[in-house]
Structures are given as structure tokens and as C-alpha cells.
Structure 1
Amino acid sequence: MRRYGPAVLLLLTAGAVLRISLFGDLYLRYVQAGLRPYLIASGALLGLLGLVRAALTGRTPREGTDRERADREDALTEHQDAHGHGHSHPGGGPRVAWLLALPAAALLLFPPPALGSYSAARDEGPRPSANGVGTFPPLPAVDPVDLSVAEFGSRAVYDSGRSLQGRTVRLTGFVTRGDGSWYVTRLLVGCCAADATAGRVEVLGAPAPEPDTWVTVTGIWRPEGGPGPSATWPPLLDARTVTRVPEPSDPYEKR
């Protein structure tokens, strides 16, 4: 069986990649939607390599009979005991190499969830400067207007024309907490979950749900200070309604 170890590892990895990208939307927990074709191609290529490796291994004759192989292993063990060092097992490599299959098997059977409040709480990087303060395009005439957390934050912090003034907006995100306040939060990614940064809006006038609960919050922006992160971060929202919602298939916003 150890002879087929590399082939099994390739097939497990291929199955995991194809499961999250070809047969569902789980890949959106890890990468942007535009990378799906590359994941599918990678999974298919890994699967093909695994099948080729298994076929080549099956065509290679075993060296000697079972008895001869056992004699060789006994001689190798005596040699290791005499010299105080070990070598790979003949024909299959060290057994510890099978541990490499565990991450692939875990991804295949138990895909990890999307990043949430734990990751957002650790995004303590510096906020951008106010050099980009200016006017934004008008919002749609509908009320309430659906905005991403990132767009709401940009308008609240940088819009000198205050296009959010008096408008009812609707934001969707997961709940985070800190310093007696709570926030509707979304993680913004450029490529994949590894480069995620947090955008958050502080919610006022409503009790805090449990962390990581997904909610849709409808409310009105509360202006505070002049444009620029030092005066208006994080942006504030006076809540009118807070509704629990299922986690979306694509939990991230694009940066």
C-alpha cells in the first residue's frame, strides 16, 4: 500500500480542491470568485497526475517475493540497530509521510468556515490618511438604500459632500464587539482570505447579538466630526431594525 502513497495524496488533494470549487460555493470562503476556474483546473490536473502515478506504480513489478522482502527488512533493521541510524522503508518511503494526507483529507471532509470575528478583532492595522477626501456620486433614490459595509464606511469617512446625510441605509455583516460597543462587520479581500482586512460600522440604539451572528441592520448615519479617519472612524449608525440573516454564500467584500 505504501507504494501508492504519492498517488493517494495527489487524489485526496484533487478531491478536496474540486469539492470546494466544482461542486459548490465553499471556495468563496477562501478566495475571490474570479479564481474559481483556476481552482477547477488545478484540481483536475492533480487528479490526472494521481491517476497516472497510480497506473505507473501498478505496472512496476514488485521486487522479489514477500519472503525475500521480509528478509531484506529484517536485514535493514539489524543494520539500523548496529549503526544507530535509520533509512526509508524499501519501496514506500517513511511512514510519517502519510501525515501529509491529513490536511487534504480534512479539507475534503470538514472544510473550515469563513473567517469571522476572531480574525476581524486582530485587524489592528493603521487606517489610511485623509488625503482622498472629496465628493462621491449621489446615492440611488430608493429608501432604504443597500450598501456594502466598505462603501458605507468610505462615504461616512471621506465624503465631504455628506451624501449619507438623512438617508436610511441597509447593511449586512457579522457581529463583532469591543469596548462596550458592537459592530456590523465585513472582511474585505483583494485575492484570498490571507489578505483580509476588516471594515466595521458601530451600531447604536440596539442590543448586541452574539458575536459572529449575521445580521442586516437598517438605520441612519450619525455624522461625527469632519471628514477624515481621525474624526469619523469607526462610522456610526443609529439602528432602526436589526434582523438575523443566514451567512451569505460569499461572506467577503472585494477590496
Structure 2
Amino acid sequence: MQPIPAKLAALAQQENLHFLLAVESGSRAWGFASPDSDYDVRALYIRPSAHYLAIDEGKDTFEFIEDEWFDVGAWDIRKALRLLRKSNAVLLEWLRSPVVYAADSAFVRDLNTLAPQYAQAAPLLHHYRGIARNALGAMDLHGEIRLKKWFYVLRPLLAARWAVQRGGIPPMTLAELMADLPPAAVAEIRDLVALKSGQAENYRHRLSASLIALTKTLAAEVAALTAPAPPAPATAPLDALFRTTLQRVYPC
């Protein structure tokens, strides 16, 4: 497969845009990939000034699907900054991805400087709790389950707890999110991560009694969490970042 940065460079030229940030999302970034995990590239981009000067709003997303192994989903800078204003968990995750394929260093620096002031526990809790609830509701913990799906329960439970108890932007990787778990649980989960790394995505597994209990305990704990309503977010810093980035990337 052609290297991902080269694919992105070709896409940027083809679509007449500039990638500000492109990262890996999904299991390869979360830290529990399988050999046949696909590549989920997520990105932020900016277009030339004329795109933003029309009376009608232009399209603010971009998607490219090459095959079942590689796809790109991207947001225009204005969409991304509006979502940051709402403490969007997905965008904040992308900023914490350990796998970066492309980055406009000035933009990423400034965005990371701004991001913490917009990361609010209430919307993050709502996002991660909802993901965990839906994933958990679709499985029988006491039966044989797809191991991948269990990680899709565990990780958002830990992220929700982190957002409320520690504050700020939760880490993206499962390894970092496990910091507050008992050592025995961490060791057992690490063993499952290692097991999954050698199995296909559809691998099925029967959880131990201790991990079933841990999952139920975390789910109950997260269900009971509360967070104060976020304060009204400031728009001016985001407007300034948009304008300075547009002028720098596409000077008039």
C-alpha cells in the first residue's frame, strides 16, 4: 500500500485543499488493533479563501474511501472550530492521537493551546457514556463476545470517568486511560490487548469473571457520574485562529 502521507498529499492536490492535521483514529490509535484492522484516517483541512467568500455555505466535510482497508474522513476548519466550541469529544480525541500522518505545525500548536479551555466534562461525559451504554447493551458479557466490541465498551467508560474525575481532555490510548485501575486488572487487560494483536478482528472471547465484574462496576460508576453545565464558550479566539490560518496558508 502506498504510504499514507503520500496518499494524503495526492488527495490534497486533487481536492484543492490543505490538510492541517491528519491522524489515525480507531483501534490502531486506541492501542488495541488486530493484524487486519483497517486504517481510519481523520483530518482537518482548509480551502482557498474563495471557498469562504460565497453567499452560500460550502461543503464542510470531505470523505475518501479507497477500499475496506483505508478511508479518510475530514472536516473543514470552520466546522472543526465550531465543534471545538461545543467540546466535541471526537475532535479532542484527534488532537491526542499518537499516530500523526500530516500536521501544519503552527495550526496544531495554536489549536492545542486553545483546546483545554473548551474541554468540558459535561459534554464529554454525555458522549462517552452514550457510546459505552449502546455498546454494552448490544452484548452479553457472560457469553462469548467479539473481543473488539468489549474494548469499545471499556475505553469510553474509562474516558468518561477521566473527564469527570481528572478533568481536561482524556487520553486517546487505552494504556493511558487505565492509569487508575487496580494493577491486577491492568495486567489482565494488557494480556487481552496482546492476544487481540495476533487475532483477526472477528475473534471471539469469553471474559473472565473478574473482567465481567470490572465492566459492570465501571458501567454503574459512570452511570452515576454528574458534571456541571459548561460555561458559555468564547468564540473570538476561534475566529482569530481561523483568520490567521487562512491568511498564512492562502495569503491574499
TM-score by length of 2: 0.24
Higher helix share: 2
TM-score by length of 1: 0.24
Larger radius of gyration: 1
